[in-house]
A and B are shown apart, each in its own frame.
Chain A
């Protein structure tokens, strides 16, 4: 037998050494230098993390009735690669999901691996779709926000977007509290998407959101909205706002702005209707602002209560001529008469006695020019010009509520301050929260501050009661109850230049009852009613809501407060 040549053996050995060396080098590269990145890539291929949505907390009214709840739903998607016949699938899906067949065919024929078919589909509809057993159609667990009472307090509650995030109102403001914390599940999957036994399987459970308990009274809110809608219709107004507030606690029992929308279908509504105008929009308050002038005058003893002053029907201030709403001869009026008859000239004369700095101080103390801090997104501060910019004309116009602006909420807070004995109470929309475990946490009590003395508030209350008994607010009277309040008929400023619209007004009535022991403060405001005057358009709206308040809150008549010193004859 021939022995193989030595050279061949050496060559073969060398080749084997080289081959093994190459393998060794490659192994070193894979196992050492690229080990970490390859391990990560391998893990990425196998390990999948799925977000587990947290249940969104409910929003309840003050009596525990649900105003907003979240229901389980399904998002339906498609992987177009696996859709065998887009036309057949589209024809089957379209009627169930209320979609256009042609649009659906286009969606299902797209390039890519993922397209949404429908979001937040009700469970029963999703079950019907699932029963079709269509290839390439998948389902994801999600939730859908539902507002059982439809447009009730829509602007206060706000709404939630398609991704379950609050976009407006309380839903937006308290997003962190309501949303909870989503969980996640990390699993090691095989190429078919099945969990690998003994592989990674880690789950962090989602934490449900807390429930928000609002101060809104659902029934009261409904009655307020009904009354407002009727008043807008009756007076051919363009809109309106109603606020009902408990003066002692600052709780908002009802808050509505017309026109409103249904948050279940917010995408169909005009975006302008989303705004909670009671908080976000300011208006020139007009004569309702005279209560601040009167309070300042009484608190600073600027004019004796029984002193009558001569009030003409026009007054020249700088280059402007100010006049009362109706021509009248020079009249003798006390401060009580001026408020009851809502005399602009009388108010200007009182404000002149008071002075600019005192007037500005009381406007600021009452909260004009700064937000109330009600914890609502987009709250407006209103416009209160700084004192150094005031002219003589500014003092005059601001005294009767033109040349400044305030939100309806700021104005209702002004009247709540008088109703509350001179103490301002911060309005609030949330009375507490309920944790996912069911523990109720009361919201901190509203902040308060002293604006005027109790005696001053009592005197001003008498003036406001007199305004309803014998002044411009007689349409707000309720038999057996003494109502205190003030009308307002404010001109609407032009948006693009100085000046006001002709014959367009904001009509308002803000007041409380019973005058001796106020239980509720109500603001009724109508935008551009054809009836123009606050006493004609807004006072009846106030009256209707106040009537309901009496039964709803079981308000007792209280004792009668005295009429303030006056010289004008009682009717």
Chain B
């Protein structure tokens, strides 16, 4: 016998008190009588109905819990899958954009290449300045006169 079963046998059913053990005692001590018991027992139909109600409630609860869990797990998987797809898509997009970026760098470098610009400029009549003239402000020159005394020069003669 399992432990719960033993427990159930040991603990008397309160509803059995009047009809079960008590009646048996009385039946043992007194001659058999057809008197109805003083406290009427719950009809089996009601007991069954009550038990059925209990089972239905449990089933609904269990269904709700399990359903919620299944729905939750399914939703989570769906979200994860969706996120995974989005990550894949983002990675693909990043790769595409990286390629585009490189291609743009190449195009920019090619278009801005000095040779290409110079050729375009020449075609359009442009050229580098022939000469550079600098304008000196009056009194701006600090040049020393030619042949001025040199600090490192020492007197000497050709040997």
Q: Which residues of A contact B158 (CB under 8 A)?
A: 307-310, 332
Beta-carbon contact of B156 and A306 below 8 Å = yes
B104 to chain A, nearest CB (A): 11
A117 interfacial contact with B, CB 8 Å: no
Q: Are A459 and B152 interface neighbours, CB within 8 A?
A: yes
Annotate B94-112 by CB proximity to A: 1 below 8 A, 0 otherwise: 0000010011011011101
Interface size on B, residues (CB 8 A): 38
Q: Is B129 interfacial (CB-CB < 8 Å)? A: yes
9-residue interface stretch from B18-26, B53-61, B140-148: B140-148
Cα(A306)–Cα(B153), bound, Å: 6
- CB of B151 closer than 8 Å to a CB of A: yes
How many Å lie between the Cα of A374 and that of B66 in the bound state?
A: 74
Residue A149 lies at the interface, judged by CB distance under 8 Å to chain B: yes
Give CA–CA (A149, B111) in the complex, Å.
Answer: 9
User: For residue A77, which residues in chain B have a CB less than 8 angstroms away from its CB?
Assistant: none
Q: Quick one: CB contact mask for A10-40 with B, threshold 8 Å, 1 for yes?
A: 0000000000000000000000000000000
Q: Residues on A close to B: CB < 8 A?
A: 58, 65-67, 69-72, 123, 146, 148-150, 152, 218-219, 221-223, 226, 298, 301, 303-310, 332, 455-456, 459, 478-481, 547-548, 550-551, 557, 559-566, 570
Quick check: is B34 within 8 A (CB to CB) of the other chain? no
Binding site secondary structure of chain B: loop
Q: Which of B6-14, B36-44, B76-84, B131-139 contacts A (4 or more CB under 8 A)?
A: B131-139
CA distance A548 to B132 in the complex (A): 9
Pull 29 A–B residue pairs with CB atoms less than 8 Å apart, ordered by A.
Answer: A70-B102, A71-B103, A71-B106, A148-B106, A148-B110, A149-B109, A149-B114, A150-B113, A152-B115, A218-B113, A218-B114, A222-B115, A223-B114, A304-B155, A305-B150, A305-B152, A305-B153, A306-B150, A307-B154, A479-B131, A479-B133, A479-B134, A547-B129, A547-B131, A557-B134, A557-B136, A559-B143, A560-B141, A561-B143
Residue B128, interface by CB 8 Å: yes
Of A72, A222, A564, the residue contacting B118 (CB under 8 A) is A222
Nearest CB of chain B from residue A560's CB, rounded to whole Å: 3
Instruction: Determine if A71 and B102 form an interchain contact, defined as CB atoms under 8 angstroms apart.
Output: yes
Instruction: Please measure, in the bound complex, the distance between the C-alpha atom of A459 and the C-alpha atom of B149, giving whole angstroms.
Output: 12
Q: Which residues of B contact A551 (CB under 8 A)?
A: 129, 132
Interface centre among B113, B143, B153 (most CB of A within 10 A): B113
Closest to B159 in A: A309
With A and B bound together, what is the CA distance between A123 and B140 in angstroms? 62
Q: A150-B115, A222-B115 are in contact. Are A560 and B152 (CB under 8 A)?
A: no
- Closest residue of chain B to A556, judged by CB? B134
